[in-house]
Structure 1
């Protein structure tokens, strides 16, 4: 009996010792877009994110969530300015659990009928964080900078029924200018191509998500 008790105590002590030597620490690093990520990693797996993470732009919080072996898991919360919750996406279930409406967005879905139940597409990561990596790719043409007046700016994303970005077009239009540019998808990060697809009556469908803006040249 004493021998068994001693063995159990030894195992408990070894377990506690192992947990201490494999404890976590917070790592601060710059990530894509010039943002700062505060992430947790095990001391035994340096460079492999495990645990809580927060992504910041300066002092503004953009996202919080969990990593396991460098992969995002569970619910991630994405924020607008002033720390307002914009989106909750569950990376484990691949479900969008919350998505705040954004005034600048419009949508196009073919063959909609009256009475259809529609769930519109969304960019994983939200409008402020997730969409940033797409819209920041575009540069206003120099010729537009020399044309005074108001110009409509539309980022047009074509999304497949599986939630993949299949076409990215940027259109500038006004009384004196009307041109569109097709962006090269091969230059984008795989995360940038990932959307939540639109659904009509419970079935995923192809759609377009359009970010509306404007350019004013004085």
Structure 2
């Protein structure tokens, strides 16, 4: 019992030392409506330390959680722009506690690259970060090519397609651009999968009867005033 108390005291002492370090607050625009707010060490501005949140229109914290020595720790909460919880995930124990169900109004569609039989049990691929914040990096990485900027933005639509391998890695990333009420195809743009954040390459893969399989995630989007993408 004494040993257990000593271990607990040591852990608490370590955490207190971590958070006692001098930090500075950083604000960084992630998209037109989302701003990340977090702290970094004064001694090393590349090391995040302490609370993290990203707020939608300066109001709704779409993710909120904690960093220790530049690593996400503990339970993180991810919401949509209305504050509805989409996902909760414990980074310390690598455990998904909650993933919100989807219905036909969802901007997301999932396809598996395998023939399905009656009675098969299939699970969708999951991105840690939820169906809003978790997918923002893919939308903001796209910029509308100059040759299409003469088209009225209201006439433009896009579908982001992500191919996820059975190992849970991003294998392909493309954007299909369409125009008009009939969504006439304009072009398909293959995006570079060497993403700035390696975490954006990692997914929980789809499964068929408990076995990981390849899948595709398709996300309906619109072109915003910055020539990037927003959820439809």
User: Would you call these one fold, judging by a TM-score over 0.5?
Assistant: yes
Residue 203 (structure 1) aligns with: 211
Distance across 2 between alignment mates of 1:159 and 1:140: 24
User: For residues 112-145 of structure 1, what are the alpha-carbon distances to aligned partners after superposition, in whole Å with 9 as ceiling and x for unaligned?
Assistant: 2211111101222122212111111112334444
User: For residues 11-58 of structure 1, what are the alpha-carbon distances to aligned partners after superposition, in whole Å with 9 as ceiling and x for unaligned?
Assistant: xxxxx9xx68973666421246262323487x9x76544544333342
Residues 96 and 196 in structure 1, CA contact (< 8 A), matched pair in contact too: no
Q: Give the C-alpha shift of residue 147 in structure 1.
A: 4.8
Residue 53 (structure 2) aligns with: 54
Q: With structure 1 as the length reference, what TM-score do the two structures score?
A: 0.74
Question: What are the within-5 Å matches in structure 2 for residues 104-123 of structure 1?
Answer: 104-109=107-112, 110-123=114-127
Residue 5 (structure 1) aligns with: none
Indicate how the Cα distance of structure 1 residues 127 and 21 shifts in structure 2: closer, same or farther if over 3 A, else same: closer
Residue 10 (structure 1) aligns with: none
Q: With structure 2 as the length reference, what TM-score do the two structures score?
A: 0.70
Do structure 1's residue 133 and structure 2's residue 137 form an aligned pair? yes
Distance across 2 between alignment mates of 1:77 and 1:25: 26
Q: From 152, 173, 190, give the equivalent of 1:168.
A: 173
Distance across 2 between alignment mates of 1:21 and 1:124: 25
Structure 1 alignment gaps of length 5 or more: 1-15
Structure 2 alignment gaps of length 5 or more: 1-12, 225-232
Q: Give the C-alpha shift of residue 201 in structure 1.
A: 1.4
Higher radius of gyration, 1 or 2 = 1
Residue 9 (structure 2) aligns with: none
Residue 29 (structure 1) aligns with: 26
Question: What are the within-5 Å matches in structure 2 for residues 1-218 of structure 1?
Answer: 23=20, 27-31=24-28, 33=30, 35-39=35-39, 47=45, 48-57=47-56, 58-100=58-100, 101=102, 103-109=106-112, 110-147=114-151, 150=155, 152-173=157-178, 176-213=184-221
Q: Give the C-alpha shift of residue 169 in structure 1.
A: 1.0
> Which has the larger helix fraction?
1
Indicate how the Cα distance of structure 1 residues 78 and 183 shifts in structure 2: closer, same or farther if over 3 A, else same: same
TM-align CA RMSD: 3.2
